[in-house]
Amino acid sequence: MNDCIFCKIANKEIPTDFVYSDDKVVAFRDVNPQAPVHILVIPREHFDSALAVKDSSVWNSLLDAAVKIAKKFDLEGKGFRMVINTGEQGGQSVPHLHLHLLAGRNLGWPPG
Ligand code: 5GP
Ligand code: ZN
């Protein structure tokens, strides 16, 4: 998907500082942060949404990376939230699978 902004970020076509990267996943700060820590964790491979994932190893790499990042940011004590918005009512605005890692304030529940 040549027009996908997150593919361009993952490919370094759009210069972005990665807070984490490995062969499957990259992570970077959200441009419009909703909490003091707001990081997007994405697979390098394009998936339109969670619904497009057929191979569970994608979930392994995404969740493993998110937990590693949470530890790297010293979030073990205070806690954090991981969110994957999916589809229109789920609030997904970028059609490349991504996990939000949010932390640094008390996060309300239920979400808006
Ligand atoms: P969604 O609404 O799809 O769950 O989340 C998409 C997120 O991507 C939003 O929080 C939005 O602020 C973020 N975002 C959109 N475009 C860019 C971008 O070009 N760079 C970065 N770092 N974040 C982006
Ligand atoms: Zn993409």
Q: How confident is the model at residue 66, as a pLDDT? A: 98
Q: Are 104 and 36 in contact (CB under 8 A)?
A: yes
Q: Is the CB of 32 under 6 A from ligand 1?
A: yes
Task: Please report, for residues 14, 15, 92, the alpha-carbon distance to residue 28 in angstroms, rounded to integers and kept in the order given.
Answer: 12, 11, 17
C-alpha of residue 71 to centroid of ligand 2, in Å: 26
Q: Digits of tens for pLDDT over the chain (112 positions)?
A: 579 999 999 999 999 999 999 999 999 999 999 999 999 999 999 999 999 999 999 999 999 999 999 999 999 999 999 999 999 999 999 999 999 999 999 999 999 8
Ligand nearest to the CA of 40: 1
**CA quadruple 79, 7, 51, 64: dihedral positive or negative?**
negative
Is the pTM here over 0.95, yes or no? yes
Q: Are 25 and 65 in contact (CB under 8 A)?
A: yes
Ligand nearest to the CA of 39: 1
